[in-house]
């Protein structure tokens, strides 16, 4: 069975040079932008709403990405929107939230429905972002429930693009192996 599957006739849309590991699962209305990657055992399930993953963003091993359906009380539901140069650490759970550009989601972090993560944010490993919480740009957020920590350092701000560039190189190596 393929790791890329349609749901109700809607098949994932892939940009240029996207890597989807054969042991991951990408289903339904999922739009992956150029140079993005989905790694082993990750599940990206766009069945009851849509998921977009921006350019050069990566979904690391064991992560689960899902959405909330449209209802009478929530006419838009909760799609999952991920910006550019976002690194989603191992075993993170993202559910119906919006993540802007240059964000690091730490290993095991959980971000829930309607949460908004502004650009240039680190969500620490194991942090839990409650529904509809907004994390403002320029900080590290920690804990359960998440709290604003200290301001980002210059090195951390540079790391966002470095991390996504490292994953672009890595996925290119994996794509090269698949094509040989």
Q: What is the mean pLDDT of each run of 10 residues along the chain (180 residues)?
A: 90 98 97 98 98 98 96 93 98 98 98 98 98 98 98 95 96 91
CATH tag for 4-179 (out of 2.160.10.10, 2.60.40.10, 1.20.58.220, 3.40.50.2300): 2.160.10.10
The pLDDT score that the predictor gives to residue 178 is 84
Q: Give the contacts of 176 (CB within 8 A, at least 6 positions apart).
A: none
The number of CA neighbours under 13 Å toward the Cβ of 137 is: 8
Residue boundaries of the structural domains of the chain:
4-179
State the pTM of this model.
0.96
Cα separation of 125 and 154, whole Å? 20
pLDDT reported for residue 146: 98
Residue pair 149/139 in contact (Cβ under 8 Å)? The answer is yes
The pLDDT value given to residue 128: 98
Q: Which two tokens stand for residue 168?
A: 């672009």
pLDDT, averaged across the chain:
96
> pLDDT at position 1, please?
54
Q: How far is CA 87 from the centre of its chain?
A: 7
């Amino acid at each position: 069975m393929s790791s890329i599957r349609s749901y109700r006739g809607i098949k994932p849309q892939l940009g240029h040079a996207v890597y989807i590991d054969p042991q991951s699962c990408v289903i339904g209305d999922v739009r992956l932008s150029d140079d993005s990657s989905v790694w082993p055992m990750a599940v990206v399930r766009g069945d009851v709403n849509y998921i977009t993953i921006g350019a050069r963003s990566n979904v690391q091993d064991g992560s689960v990405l899902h959405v909330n359906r449209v209802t009478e009380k929530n006419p838009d539901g909760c799609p999952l929107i991920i910006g550019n140069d976002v690194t989603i650490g191992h075993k993170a759970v993202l559910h119906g939230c919006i993540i802007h550009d240059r964000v690091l989601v730490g290993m095991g972090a959980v971000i829930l429905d309607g949460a908004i993560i502004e650009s240039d944010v680190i969500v620490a490993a194991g942090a839990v972002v409650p529904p509809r919480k907004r994390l403002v740009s320029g900080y590290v957020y920690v804990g359960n429930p998440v709290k604003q920590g200290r301001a980002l350092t210059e090195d951390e701000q540079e790391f966002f693009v470095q991390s996504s560039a490292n994953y672009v190189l890595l996925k290119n190596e994996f794509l090269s192996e698949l094509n040989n």
